[in-house]
Structures are given as structure tokens and as C-alpha cells.
Chain A
């Protein structure tokens, strides 16, 4: 049974892979906030460009490693075009005669198109970069070691562990139904409800059975006995992590500074 998730950590030797997960998380949050705090289409395009350029630099491929790349790009472009075509505020930069009506493209239409489409794509690509270069258990253990209650940390870890198994099981149930003559060309809401119930019930039963087994396994190893726990992993920050963290802090200060300047 192949239980490897489709969006998963891709081990490589790049500088981004080697950064401490919390430093990377800080950068992700920092860039994400900046996309909304810094009201500049140039900044949005710069972050988007940076995210796209990072992929080959860290040994990843946008085409192969980003699931649904085509769908995401098209969605980003549609969001951009909707603003261009229907946002007529601001001054006109282009007028195209189209039969009886004219098509106006305004500077604000372009700006908002970049804001919405660009922010969407930049956030998605940055998040992908983070997920593909960060070992999930390293992230969870790092968060627990800086104060996240360990019960929440293990909710995350067990979810990561079980999600691909449930994905495989959902596919098996679907295939089992096909082999018993279930037709999936749904035409009535009633039939849809029946099909959904027939798909969900076996998965639910299987999930509950796994939860029982997991409870025996975790309680049998004293999970929850104490309010805190110790860790085998040693939290370590390299010189590169410290430098990246300093850069992050400088970026945050600069962002706040520019935001205040705009307010002034």
C-alpha cells in the first residue's frame, strides 16, 4: 500500500531545506503579512517572483512538485483579469474599441488585479515552498519545544500520519463500490445522499477502529500521563539560522517603519 501523501516534504540538500523549521515559519508569516501590509503592486510582484525563483534554486520544480499547478496559475490569472476588465476606477490607461462598447483598462484595475491575483499566487507558492522543504515532524517537535502544548502537537503529527492512510482507504471504498455495480453518474439529490452515505460510513467505521487502536497504543505508552514531556530531539540553531532570523527581524522593523511612514 502506497501511503505517501501527494503534497509532502521533498528531501534535498538545499540551504532552504537546512534552515530551522521555526525560522522558515517566521519567514513565511513575515512575507504573508507583508503582502497585505505593504500596499505596493511592485512588492507583491517582487515576492511572487522571489517565490517562483526559489523553486529551482532549492532543487524543486514548479511543474512536478506543485500539485494542481495549472489550476492555480489559471485561477491567479482569472482573478487578475476580472479586476482588469471590471474595475474601472482610476485613470484610463488603455481604451479598446469592441463593437458598440469600449473596453477601458484603468490603472486601479491593473493595481487591484496584481494585488488579488498576485497575492493569491504568492501565498500559494510560498506555502508550497515551506511544506516541500520542511520535515513536518521537525516542525511539530520544534513548536512543542517552544511552548505549544504537546497534545496539540501530536494532533498535528497523528493527522499527518493518518491522512494518507485515509486517502488510500477512501480510494479502496470507492473501488469496492464500483466492483459491486455502484454507478456514480448522480442525477438526483436523493441518490447523491445515498452514495455519500455509502462512501462515508465505511470510512467512518474504519477511522473509529483506528482511533481505538491508536488510543491503546498511545495510552499504553503513557501519553498524557504528565502535563509536560521530555524530547529526544535537541533544538539546534546554526549560524545560518541566526543570520536568517536577524534578516527577518530587520525586515519586520523595515515593514513597520514604512507602514508608519505611510500613515504619517
Chain B
């Protein structure tokens, strides 16, 4: 089905190859997982298979990419699209209509299918992804997981022979992630097509027994025909933190009966919590459970409609964000939304410069942080020229530069490979050791188990679980929330404890 020979590709303006000497054969109906560190060329390979790499990106290419008998370097993108479908990371960015039924019909209408066939294929595609109940919904009302299901159905409706998933669950919570992997399983069973999944979360893929390709620096470095226990552990086998747990004392932030709603729909429903000095708290829960809203309340960006939030003894309703910002650091979900300066160095020192606290000592600290994050060599480069993982580390550096006492993180580990994740978490652990408090919204139970000493689980704007990490996992297991247990763990393992 797929035959790649000696493929090399270098993006225009780059001095290194994104893909090097790729040679690969994939048979019809095969299930393949491509994994590897951030920036290793996985997504570029997916774009090459779909032909988009050679049409939408300027660069130097050599070698051949044959899919279903078509050379994707030469063939029209529309002809390749009849064979290959690509489901991307962000469901928001790949939907182009306003309703579910229009979205699924979109590709069929473009192919000038008759109305009866459009209806029949749309129905089939929605059924295969388990989204028939969504058929009449506007897209704006769907959750992230539901949107991703619709995006898959929209591709499946054309009945491609090869389906490529490029980190399809990176923006989803564990429940939605589990559901998407079950959809992939259903597609394999019912459609019998070639499936290629680019993914870090290998633990979810164990039941499929896929062939695993590991990439590094643009090359395929391992090609294993069988999925091993080692692969399953790889997904988040970050090294055990070397720094001990800090002692806890002193309340840094407090929410009392915190209540907030958007358009009459309660998002936080009477939450009461304390965060202490040195706490490393993981905040978990499904998308829409109120995690991000809680962080924004702690930052003073949102004011409570009822109850109160105190940070460092101050009521956030009476304090401007600019005052709180000197003591509270916030990292948002998308790294591109928080890069404002012209160079990496200016970005890393952006906040202390604004606060008027840029001293020689701060500069030394920033230089050290850049060194540890592997960014010192890019000091004079524009931040937007960095890779996704590098941008994330720069976001963290720019926060740690002024050593805030409360650090709020909104899914900082999205799209991070295990090594990057371990580096980020180690840096944060060091901050808690120095007395800072970390509140980390995360969907990753594995790193939570390794680094956090407390887990808050939100559900429908309320605190469902608030306990030390291991006890919290036991409670989650008893509640049947197995998708939130650490990688490879089963509910039984925790229910026994």
C-alpha cells in the first residue's frame, strides 16, 4: 500500500533535514504507530504521505513516496486524497462548516456525489465513529472529543484506503482520549483499512498490537513488528524525580465557596480549597469540568460571582492582575499565545523587565535556565523559529525568571515527549523545593504519579476528589475513572489497595 524509498526533505530556510533516508513499506490493512521525540519528523512524514508536504511547503525533496500506486510527490493532491485521509491534532482547526451533518457531507459534496449517496455515506461514517447522536448538533456546542470524532467521520465518509492520525488526542482529556482510541479500533474492525497513528501515548495502543516505528532526528531508528511491554511503558516513562518532597506550610492561595458561571451555566460550583507553600498539585478532570477557570480565578483574571479567592492573603477582587502577576506565574495552553518579544533572550526576560526587577542576578538565573532548557544556542533567534517543545520550555523560563510564589500551569505537557516532560517537571519540582506552589492542570496520570503530591479531580465544577496522589488514584479507581489512572495501571490495582 505504501512504499517509500530514500526520502529526504529539508524545509526552505532550515539548515537540517526534517526527513532523512526514510525507506518504508506498509502493507494493506496494517496498523502502524509512529513515535519519537517532539520535532523528530513524525508529522512531516504524515504530510509527505498525504502529498501536502510537497504542495504547501517550500523545500528540497528527494526520493519517492508511493501510496496506492500514486507518487505523492508528483500526483495531484485531490487524487492522493482519494486514497489517504489525514486527521490532525487540533479538531478546532480542521472543521470548516457550522454543523455536524454539513461537516461530514462536505467532502462528498466536493466530490459531486448525488444526494442519496451523501446521506448514505454520512450515516455510515457517523455510525462507525459512534457519533450518530450528534448529527443535528452545531459544531460550536460539541466538546473536544466530539469534534475529533466528527473530524474522523468527515474523513472516513470518503472511504480512504489509508487513514493517518497525527496525535489525534493531544488536546483531549483521558476519557475522550480513550473514546477516540476505541473509535480507531472500530474503524480497523469495520473498515479494514491501513491505519497509521502518530502518538506519544503508546499505552493506549497496546491492545491493537501495532507495528511500532520510532523516529529520531528525521530518521526511522527502530521498526518493530510487535508491540512490547517496553513500548507501553515508553509513553510517559519519565525518570523518577531526583529531588525530595518539600515540607508543607503556609497557605498561599485559598478559594472559599468559589462560584462562577458563563451564560447561566455554572462552571465552578461552590469550590473551597487551600494551596500551601511547596504544594505540587495536579488538577485533573474532563474537558469543561472547570480546571482552566479555577486557574484563571487564582490569577485574578476572572472574579468570583459568589464566594472569594485569596492569593497571598489578598482578595483577588480588590487586586489588579498586574499586582498579582509579580508573585503568580501563569502558563497558558498554547505556547504561541504567550510569545511577545523579538528574541529568545528578550522573551525570557520579558516579565522581569515589565516588573522593573531585571537585575544582574535575574539575568544570571535566566542564562542558567536557558542553558538547562537547551535554548542558550537560540538566544538571539526569534521565539517563533523554535520547535513546539522549545517554545514550551521558553514559556516556562520566562515564568521562572522572576521566581513567582504561585505557578499556575494549563496543560503544559501537551505535545511533549517524555524527555521534555521530565525536564519541565524537574524544573517545577525544584521550584516547589524552594517554597513555590505549583498548580498543574494536566491530563497525564503518569507524570502526576511521579511528581505531584496531591490530586484535585474536578467534575462539573465541583471537587470530586482532593487527596494525596496515591490515595486520589485509589478513589478514582473506586469511582470507575480508569482512564485517569497511571499508564498501564488497571482499576483493580488501585481497588485492591
Contact = CB atoms under 8 A, between A and B. Distances in A.
A202 B338 contact: yes
Contact of B340 (A3, A137, A180, A210): A180
Contacts of A231: 109, 115
Contacts of B106: 218, 221, 223
A70 interface: no
A216 B154 CA distance: 13
Interface stretch (B85-93, B239-247, B419-427): B85-93
B15 interface: no
Interface string B18-46: 00000000000000000000000000000
B351 A234 contact: no
A232 B119 contact: yes
Interface stretch (B97-105, B304-312, B359-367): B97-105
B458 to A, nearest CB: 16
Contacts of B112: 226, 228-230
B303 to A, nearest CB: 13
B111 A225 contact: yes
B158 A181 contact: no
Contacts of B109: 229-232
User: Which of B112, B334, B337 has the largest count of A CB atoms less than 10 A from its CB?
Assistant: B337
A205 B99 CA distance: 27
A161 B96 CA distance: 7
User: Which of B97, B109, B112, B328 has the largest count of A CB atoms less than 10 A from its CB?
Assistant: B109
Given A202-B339, A216-B56, A222 B111 contact: yes
User: Which of B52, B118, B322 has the largest count of A CB atoms less than 10 A from its CB?
Assistant: B322
Given A3-B140, A180-B325, A221 B81 contact: yes
A contact face: mostly helix, strand, loop, or mixed: helix
A179 interface: yes
A113 to B, nearest CB: 38
Nearest to A4: B140
Nearest to A11: B138
A3 B119 CA distance: 28
Contacts of B341: 198
Contacts of A178: 301, 321-322, 325
A219 B81 contact: yes
A198 B93 CA distance: 23
A238 interface: no
Interface in B227-282: 262-263
A180 B50 CA distance: 40
User: Which of B118, B140, B354 has the largest count of A CB atoms less than 10 A from its CB?
Assistant: B140
A175 interface: yes
A169 interface: yes
A180 B322 CA distance: 8
A206 B118 CA distance: 33
Contacts of A202: 336-340
A212 interface: yes
Contacts, number: 176
A232 B340 contact: no
Size range of the interface on B?
35 or more
A225 B326 CA distance: 54
B56 A175 contact: no
A161 B93 contact: no
Interface residues of A, number: 54
A223 B110 contact: yes
A102 interface: no
Contact of A232 (B52, B82, B102): B102
Interface in A196-220: 198, 201-202, 205-206, 209-210, 212-220
B78 A219 contact: yes
Interface in A127-182: 136-137, 141, 154, 157-158, 160-161, 164-165, 169, 172-173, 175-182
A180 B351 contact: yes
B97 A232 contact: no
B110 A222 contact: yes
B88 A161 contact: no
Nearest to A169: B337
B325 A161 contact: no
Given A212-B56, A220-B85, A223-B106, A177 B340 contact: yes
Nearest to A144: B109
Interface string A30-57: 0000000000000000000000000000
Contacts of A179: 299, 301, 321, 325, 328-330
A226 B94 contact: no
B30 to A, nearest CB: 21
A201 B336 CA distance: 9
A181 B95 contact: no
Interface in A208-264: 209-210, 212-226, 228-234
Nearest to A218: B96
A209 B43 CA distance: 14
Nearest to A220: B81
B119 A216 contact: no
Interface of A: 2-4, 136-137, 141, 154, 157-158, 160-161, 164-165, 169, 172-173, 175-183, 198, 201-202, 205-206, 209-210, 212-226, 228-234
The 9 closest A-B pairs by CB, nearest first: A221-B107, A181-B354, A217-B94, A213-B93, A176-B338, A137-B98, A222-B110, A232-B105, A198-B340
16 contacts: A4-B141, A141-B102, A172-B332, A172-B337, A179-B329, A179-B330, A202-B336, A202-B338, A206-B337, A213-B94, A214-B93, A214-B94, A217-B88, A217-B94, A217-B95, A231-B109
Given A202-B340, A214-B96, 5 more contacts: A160-B98, A180-B325, A205-B339, A222-B107, A231-B115
